Amino acid sequence: MLFVLLCYCITACQPKPTPKEALETKVRTQIDTIEGDVAVAFLNLSDPADSLHINANQEFHAASTMKVPVMIELFKQQASGKINLNDSILLVNEFKSIVDGSPYSMDIADDSDDVIYDKINTNVALKDLMYSMITVSSNLATNVLIELVDAKKVTATMRDLGADTIEVLRGVEDIKAYELGLSNSTTAKDLLVIMEAIAMNKAGNETDCQDMLRILKDQQFNDMIPAKLPIDVEVAHKTGSITGVHHDAGIVYLPNGKSYVLVLLSKNLKDFDKGTKQLADISKTFYDHMMNQKH
């Protein structure tokens, strides 16, 4: 009996975990159930102390999350007078490998945007290509735009924003580069920095950042961060996926006026669909954390 009372006293006397400690414990438990490697970065935009980084400096193949930096660079070059997003460009399906300059083309079967292929050899507005690059993750549009703005300049702009390790080296489906390990890469921390910059109107002027948010809110792939959130929650985000890899990085806007940045990265997923649902559960955990706050 004395032993039972002692155990009860020890348990009862332990301090109750803070909301942040409880959040981390739950998220780590959820990550442990996923067969694969996962990184998480979270920031409450109204309370920077309310943040969480798990494996946030681990490097991942960027997949299509790198299209957000390309969008930022497009707005930057327009602001400097170098380009005009209302102008049109001849849509061609031939690109140069960063390895040796040899030509390669995109395959409609490997792209998430098949509509754009009907526009090859016609003039298409840059703003329309940019919209397709983000909302339906068009690889063809992405490659045209990366050749226009220069991948090196995209990476340099990310450094200016404080994203220290993200690398935008090339367009999509450059197989020669891929085979040599020359791929676009990122960390959860860097994507958080980039999304926060857009949310706080620091990724360009206020008008441009608001335009970026409108495009990101039109995202058509919604099976991770928004998947298990109420319909009245707005999410401005960009996903990315290749074999065994599924990412989502976004800004979540709650009806009560609060907002937060959340980045979920994964690789080596044994079961892609199951892993995606488990990552959506983690997104719901952060939503619950924000909604349960007293003020």
Given a cut of 70, whether residue 206 has pLDDT beyond it is: yes
Residue spans of alpha helices (H) in the chain: 2-13, 19-32, 67-79, 126-135, 139-149, 151-161, 175-179, 188-199, 206-217, 272-291
Give the pLDDT confidence score for residue 8 in this predicted structure. Answer: 53
Condensed to tens digits (0 to 9), the pLDDT of residues 11-40 reads 556 678 898 999 999 999 999 999 999 999
Q: Give the architecture (CATH level 2) of 19-58+187-295.
A: 3-Layer(aba) Sandwich (3.40)
* Confidence band of 112 (pLDDT split at 50, 70, 90): confident
* Confidence band of 284 (pLDDT split at 50, 70, 90): very high
Residue 256 Cα distances to 89, 137, 171, 285, 291, angstroms: 42, 30, 39, 17, 9
pTM beyond cutoff 0.85: yes
Task: For residues 134 and 214, give the distance between their C-alpha atoms in angstroms, rounded to a whole number.
Answer: 11
**Mean pLDDT along residues 282-295:** 91
Please choose, from the candidates 129, 55, 59, 60, the residue with its C-alpha nearest in 3D space to the C-alpha of residue 88: 129
Task: For residues 212 and 131, give the distance between their C-alpha atoms in angstroms, rounded to a whole number.
Answer: 9
Give the pLDDT confidence score for residue 239 in this predicted structure. Answer: 98
Segments making up each domain of the chain, as ranges? 19-58+187-295
Given a cut of 60, whether residue 221 has pLDDT beyond it is: yes
Given a cut of 90, whether residue 5 has pLDDT beyond it is: no
Task: For residues 214 and 40, give the distance between their C-alpha atoms in angstroms, rounded to a whole number.
Answer: 24
Give the pLDDT confidence score for residue 17 in this predicted structure. Answer: 86
